[in-house]
Structure 1
């Protein structure tokens, strides 16, 4: 920290180390020597200027919980005292119009804390450290949620029940708590229940979350709603019976898609031994190859090989009396087909 210089201020609790204000090189006043407008916040307000140059903004350093050389104190750089204060030059002609400071800052120390405010020399030689606010005690409420993780148990396979309480001062909503099992998210509960010791304050949580089986580490964290941070409420080990494994459904293999088939229609002529053959589906560019067999005893003998003609895929063939079979083998990506007909003459 750079050397700090003196300031004489007309305020209770001010300690001047470097002599009178004129010798210290500053003039100023602290309107608010330290207050906490809300949990986790600290407010200071006033004005100050350097007698060597009334328009030169003065740097300000704030320490919470100890002096500038206390390693446990929290340091906050308040920046420059450069906010408009038109009332100051009317009483002190040497002051500039922008000499004010009005800061509300977040702090990390809570409870009854001493605060120390220093001004750094803006112009001219440096002097000895002088306190603007000398250890004024300020009560700062914690903005973080608090509470306790009371119990954890497993009453059913694959489940863990947790109880406890959680709260946050000045928070608009009930505090939420996140439950983890073996460091994995398991669920979120709301601390909105009443119980023994909390009949007038609904801050208890009691709920069940899913869990893996075995020796499970269950942890609960209270979720912050404002300027604070989430707070762990602790962890517990719980023996959990593994959840039942759901049955694996059988693999259903769909039947193969049926290959499209050729259609075949036979019609025998009434007066002549003529066989009318109609093959489908009709093709515009190709014909169907086919063969005609006649039954002789118990056997079929091929009597003709031919093909359909034209886009309608129809033909007529004169044959002698008998029983015939027409076979259209697989072709054009279609399954083959056969049919029989009897010719009488």
Structure 2
């Protein structure tokens, strides 16, 4: 088709340039997905080429010859896009492709093909079959394209100008053209007549284009097919300005092949034919079908997922299902499979069989929103069954304070489990002291804490956990809330360090006189500073070791009271033990406070004559 308007050649109106398209990815991708150790590598049947693969090869071949392709392929049975170039939404000049919309406009204007006068249908048929420009110019109205674009939802299809004779500059996209064909085919006022007429496209054009060969693109196919061809070099908003288009259908697809190139009309006619033939020979890959019905917390660190999936390529087969969980802690994948009974699915999709259900557990990925997505892994393609978001909630709270109470360390704070807000939350305490770490369970956050009422779970969520103060020295005390009924884990409420005091003192002197050994010294129990401290004495002499445990503090020691204010003065000890044999003796004194390790106060060597 050649436009006669001078405005079409105005290079000052050229819009954005279209880069040549190299090898590209279609919407149907047979690739590899590697995530969290799972490798998904679907492949088409041996020897088959998918529409996406066929399109990629055709576009690459056209690009090597200087042709930029804009292509969209839609499944006639489902209306779904099966392959498409990334630029399928870019506008190009319609040339004679707009005659399809002009014909649809008049058919609907008269109320359908059956109500349209035969004389009008004859003119429309001649215009389409021979791509006759004179007929198009005589029938053109500025309302035609906007009306049909609105009727079929063609969002990127517009007039370039409302002036008569400028219809070939109308802006179309490959994606809109397959949408037009798919929706017009299902329109009883338009579809039967239009598809039948497209199947009768002539070998050449008409009028001034009588010598132009239309036998290219979809018009060059064998078998079931129909097409509308378009050509010209008078676009004023694309570069290159020359176009050769072929839009139509095969037995399985609606196809729009739009092309721009500086080479006109060839090689565009041959590249259009190559694209059409590759797509006609492509094998449609049927993707799995199914549903992701359920995702929810069922225990700490676990989510239950359930649904169904079936592979039309392998009816009744057990199908792998990969589930990916993405949360604050990252992403992880779990492999499940179908096999569970789903008679409801079998009733609706008999070929799927009755064992299409999947039901299993997957790991949570941190507390907070966890997005869970399930994929059916088919023999030739993968299908996203759906995604769901689960709010994973851990128990929470605080370790407010750690202190000493007699021979115990007391940890106090609060905890709430949002999964069971009306029940006391379990709290575990771990004490890391000089001798290692000990854990203590069995505490409940159930005491009154009026300040917690704002959480909406009542105020009975305080705890005071007492554990033994076994050893003197520094202790790190940590408290954990135990999550139940869901969540990701048992969160740390906090840690505090406290020093547990022990007994201390000294062995000041050991003397031998009058058949006895006298032991002098002092001792204080740091946990009970004013209390009496038992003292044990051990005498190691020539005949062995003898212990004496009946002693204790109680003798005034003002010097100790002065050195350690607040402990009192009664912390001295003064004890006599019998002499057992002559010779060298080693005498040692130990403070032995109740419930605590003994503390060596000192040793002295004495000689018994």
Which TM-score tier does this pair reach, normalised by the shorter chain? 0.5 to 0.7
What's 2:370 paired with? 113
Structure 1 Cα separation of the partners of residues 439 and 350 of structure 2: 66
Could you say what the CA RMSD is over the residues aligned between the two structures, in angstroms? 3.7
Task: State the number of aligned residues.
Answer: 230
Give the 4+ runs in structure 1 shifted more than 6 A.
none
Match of 1:217 among 454, 476, 486: 476
Residues 58-73 of structure 1: pairs in structure 2 closer than 5 A: 58-65=319-326, 72-73=330-331
- 1:209-241 Cα offsets, whole Å, 9 max, x none, are 332223322222334556654433232221322
What's 1:95 paired with? 352
- 1:36-66 Cα offsets, whole Å, 9 max, x none, are 5677553443322222221211100011117
Residues 184-263 of structure 1: pairs in structure 2 closer than 5 A: 184-185=437-438, 187-188=440-441, 189-199=443-453, 200-211=458-469, 212-225=471-484, 229-242=489-502, 244=525, 247-248=535-536
What's 1:141 paired with? 392
Q: Say yes or no: does 1:177 pair with 2:428.
A: yes
Which structure has greater helix proportion? 2
Q: Kindly tell me: are residues 42 and 91 of structure 1, through their superposed partners in 2, closer, same or farther at Cα, counting changes over 3 Å?
A: same
Tell which has more relative contact order, 1 or 2 (C-alpha 8 A, sep 6+).
1
Structure 2 Cα separation of the partners of residues 103 and 152 of structure 1: 43
What's 1:266 paired with? none
How far is the alpha carbon of 1:166 from its aligned partner?
Answer: 2.0
Residues 1-345 of structure 1: pairs in structure 2 closer than 5 A: 1-4=39-42, 23-30=284-291, 32=293, 34-36=295-297, 41-65=302-326, 72-77=330-335, 79-121=336-378, 123=379, 126-127=380-381, 130-133=383-386, 135-136=387-388, 138-142=389-393, 144-154=394-404, 156=406, 158-171=407-420, 173-182=424-433, 183-185=436-438, 187-188=440-441, 189-199=443-453, 200-211=458-469, 212-225=471-484, 229-242=489-502, 244=525, 247-248=535-536
Q: Kindly tell me: are residues 5 and 118 of structure 1, through their superposed partners in 2, closer, same or farther at Cα, counting changes over 3 Å?
A: farther
Structure 2 Cα separation of the partners of residues 86 and 152 of structure 1: 59
Structure 2 Cα separation of the partners of residues 214 and 185 of structure 1: 15
Gaps of 5+ in 1: 7-15, 253-345
Please report the TM-score for the alignment, with normalisation by the length of structure 1: 0.55
Q: Kindly tell me: are residues 130 and 54 of structure 1, through their superposed partners in 2, closer, same or farther at Cα, counting changes over 3 Å?
A: closer
CA contact (8 A) 1:178 1:222 kept: no
- 1:60-105 Cα offsets, whole Å, 9 max, x none, are 0011117xxx99312122x211112233344333222211223354
Structure 1 Cα separation of the partners of residues 301 and 460 of structure 2: 23
Which structure has greater strand proportion? 1
Q: Kindly tell me: are residues 209 and 36 of structure 1, through their superposed partners in 2, closer, same or farther at Cα, counting changes over 3 Å?
A: closer
Structure 2 Cα separation of the partners of residues 160 and 17 of structure 1: 69
- 1:156-193 Cα offsets, whole Å, 9 max, x none, are 5x442321112323346531322414243274432111
Structure 2 Cα separation of the partners of residues 238 and 101 of structure 1: 52
Give the greater-gyration-radius structure (CA).
Answer: 1
Q: Kindly tell me: are residues 192 and 40 of structure 1, through their superposed partners in 2, closer, same or farther at Cα, counting changes over 3 Å?
A: same
